[in-house]
Amino acid sequence: MISYSLPASKRRRQPLILALLLLIALWSWHSTRSVKATRDEGFYPERYPLAWKHVSLASTRSGAWYIPPEWLDPSEPAPRNILEAAQLAQRLAVKGNHNIPYSKIPLIIHQTWKDTDLVTWKPDVLEGVEKWLTYATAAGNESMAYFLWLDEGCRQLVSGLQPDLAEYVDAMPLMVEKSDVFRILVVKLIGGVYGDVDTLPLRSPASWLDEKDVSAWTDPQTGTTYSTIARGSSVKQPIELILGIEGDNRPDTDDYWRMGYNYPVQLTQWALASAPNHPILKSFVSNFAAMVKEVTRPYEGDPKAIKNALYRVDPIELTGPAAVTLATKEWLEKETGLRWDALTGLVDHGRSKAVGDTLIFPITAFSPGRGKWHGMGSKPITDPDARVLHRAQGSWKRPNLKVEFGKFCRTVFGGCRDWSRVP
């Protein structure tokens, strides 16, 4: 048997080489830590001063907030948590008439995230939050309150102001579903503007509406004219709900479902705005509760089975854009007689459409810069109609071969329409 061994001189050098490699590794680790520490201490306050001041340094277990000093009333006690701060901002907005022009929507911004540690945030999130805060801290009539809700704060909102929904929210197997419900609840209960943390505001919400946005428009197919004047009234109403189109496709084609949408005209919910207690948002909550009850009823008393049953439901239909679209569509069709597909911007180059106190933005408002291929009428991010850019990080999505195959089959071959979009 042949024995292979290193010469004695090389064996003696082995420990030295290993020690040297260990020292190099330790030095590299220490250098990385030092650079990171230096960046932590100086980079973020300099590059993102507002996020550093109003989020990182001002955070609590429930979140972080900023209320414009000129709004504050010395007689009001200091809030102890984010829910109390949000309720204070709500009262101050009403008292000072701090609303988006042409609306009753308070100038309050809401976002939610997992932490307030800027070091862990991706550049898009840092840039977006800093921009929202830039608009919030503007001088004069355009100043706004700003809230970044953490998980604890979200629980406070639900348990404190909508306790009947707490059990259903807790049952959600995905964080994105809890976030979906929270965004509806926070603008329903507090009021204001919601934007995902991966959104970049292109215009201050204080400038989102003008006379053109609330002017009358006519459905070319039925000849019906819609405006901020409610049916049976002669008085103009202020806008109380703003939603934007995410997908805009001709209803006489299969384009919408091949692109993964549930409706030819589908709304988004990565950005929305509302005055408190809008009936469409109440409809969303009712639909959500009813669907959860229906799905979980056969598994009462078995938490694991309930989780599994809810996991099989498509989040887009349970809490996401399709759920928001359904609630809006049903309510507007019933209360105003609206033909839903009349909201398309494909026939009028995209314009805002007011239906009573509800305003539907064209696709460019919240989804600009989609390009020419399947752009659905979306204009560049430099267009005046663009309000918010969505970076679409999709942090909740997990790769799944079956789901991806179904998507490929729909998009390329026009098949697999009923193929599940969830694992």
Which pLDDT score, from 0 to 100, does residue 25 have? 53
Contact 157, 85 (CB under 8 A): no
Exposed/middle/buried for 47, CB within 10 Å: 0-12, 13-18, 19+?
Answer: middle
The kind and range of the H/E element at 109 are strand 108-112
Tokens representing 173 are 């197997």
The chain-wide mean pLDDT, for the chain, equals 89
Residue 217 phi/psi, 5-degree rounding, is -145, 160
Give me the mean pLDDT over the 343-372 stretch: 96
Tokens representing 366 are 């919240």
- Is residue 368's pLDDT more than 80? yes
- Is residue 28's pLDDT more than 60? no
Which pLDDT score, from 0 to 100, does residue 38 have? 46
pTM value > 0.75: yes
Beta strands in 171-291 (DSSP E): 192-195, 199-201, 217-218, 225-226, 241-248, 265-267, 271-274
CB atoms within 10 A of CB 405: 12
Beta bridge partners of 248: 265
Beta bridge partners of 272: 194
Provide, rounded to the nearest whole percent, the portion of the chain with pLDDT above 90.
75
DSSP state of 103: B
Beta strands in 318-408 (DSSP E): 353-355, 358-361, 388-390
Residue type, 39: R
Give me the mean pLDDT over the 17-36 stretch: 51
The kind and range of the H/E element at 368 are none
Separation CA 178–CA 169 (nearest Å): 6
Give me the mean pLDDT over the 45-69 stretch: 96
Interval 294-345: pLDDT, tens? 999 999 989 999 999 999 999 999 999 999 999 999 999 999 999 999 999 9
Interval 185-230: pLDDT, tens? 999 999 999 999 999 999 999 999 999 999 999 999 999 999 998 7
Interval 247-289: pLDDT, tens? 999 999 888 888 889 999 999 999 999 999 999 999 999 999 9
- Is residue 39's pLDDT more than 80? no
Which pLDDT score, from 0 to 100, does residue 13 have? 55
Contact 420, 413 (CB under 8 A): no
Separation CA 282–CA 290 (nearest Å): 12
Interval 94-119: pLDDT, tens? 999 999 999 999 999 999 999 999 99
Residue type, 55: V
- Is residue 29's pLDDT more than 70? no
Interval 133-156: pLDDT, tens? 999 999 989 999 999 999 999 999
Contact 202, 381 (CB under 8 A): yes
Which pLDDT score, from 0 to 100, does residue 374 have? 81
Regarding predicted confidence, which is higher, 178 or 32? 178
Interval 371-405: pLDDT, tens? 877 899 999 999 999 999 998 755 545 666 666 66
Four-CA torsion 399, 401, 405, 406, nearest 10 degrees: -70
Contact 276, 189 (CB under 8 A): yes
